[in-house]
Copies of this chain bind each other. A is one copy, B any other.
Amino acid sequence: MIPNNLNTVKFLWHNSVMTTYHHGDLQQSLVSQAAHDIALGGSQSISLRHVATEVGVSASAAYHHFADKQALLDAVASDVIGQLGLAMAQALARIPGDDNASAIARFEALGQVYLTFAQENPNLFLHAFGPNCTHDQPVDSAAFDALVAALDDLDSRGLVRPGIRVGLENVVWSSVHGLSMLTITGLVDPATHAEYLAVMRKLVLA
C-alpha cells in the first residue's frame, strides 16, 4: 500500500521505529507477549519483568499502561475471550446456508470451535476461565450471544426438542465448557468427543 498523505507517511514511519523510543503500541505488545508467555508456560509462570524485557522495554515502562501486574493479566484474559468469540464468528460465517441442515451445522460448529480452541490453547483457556480473572462484571459475551442466536434459530425451525428451549443455552454452554476443561486437565479422553457430540445431538435436537 502506497502512502497517500503526510499522516499516513508519518504513521508508517512511526511504526518502523516502534522499538526506538516511544514504542507505538506498547500496551498491545505487552498483552500479546504476555499471552504468548502464558500459552507456553501457564499463567503461574508469567512475570511482568520478563514480558517487558522480551518486548524490549524496561519493566517500569509497563506501569504507564497497566496499574499493576493483575491488570495486565486481566487484559490478556479479555483478549483471549475476544479471540474465542472471533473464532466462533468466523466458523458461523463459513456456514451461510439458510436451510435446516445449515442451522444444525452452525450449532454444532460453535461447540466444536469452543472445544478446539480450548485444546489448542489450553493455558490461555485456563487463564481466561480459571482462578485468576474472576469475572465480577459480565464478560464480553459475543460467544454466548452467538450460542443463544443459534439455539433461537434452531428453535424457530422446530428443530429443538419441544419444551426444553428455556434455559437450554446455559446447559449447553456448561456442558461444552466442562468438557473443554476436563479434556484440558486430562480427565476426559479426546477420543470420547465424537460419542459426546452424538449424545448432545440426541439430547437437544428434535
Contact = CB atoms under 8 A, between A and B. Distances in A.
A167 B131 contact: no
Interface size classification for chain A: 35 or more
Nearest to A184: B134
A139 B186 CA distance: 10
The DSSP consensus for interface residues of chain A is helix
Contact of A135 (B42, B170, B173, B187): B187
B130 A186 contact: no
Per assembly, the copies of the chain total 2
Nearest to A133: B185
A163 B198 CA distance: 11
Given A129-B181, A177-B181, A203 B44 contact: no
Nearest to A128: B185
B177 A182 contact: yes
Contact of A163 (B134, B167, B192, B202): B202
Interface string A165-206: 011101101111111111001111000100110111011100
Interface of A: 42-44, 123, 126-127, 129-136, 139, 163-164, 166-168, 170-171, 173-182, 185-188, 192, 195-196, 198-200, 202-204
Given A129-B182, A135-B187, 5 more contacts: A176-B178, A178-B179, A178-B180, A181-B181, A203-B203
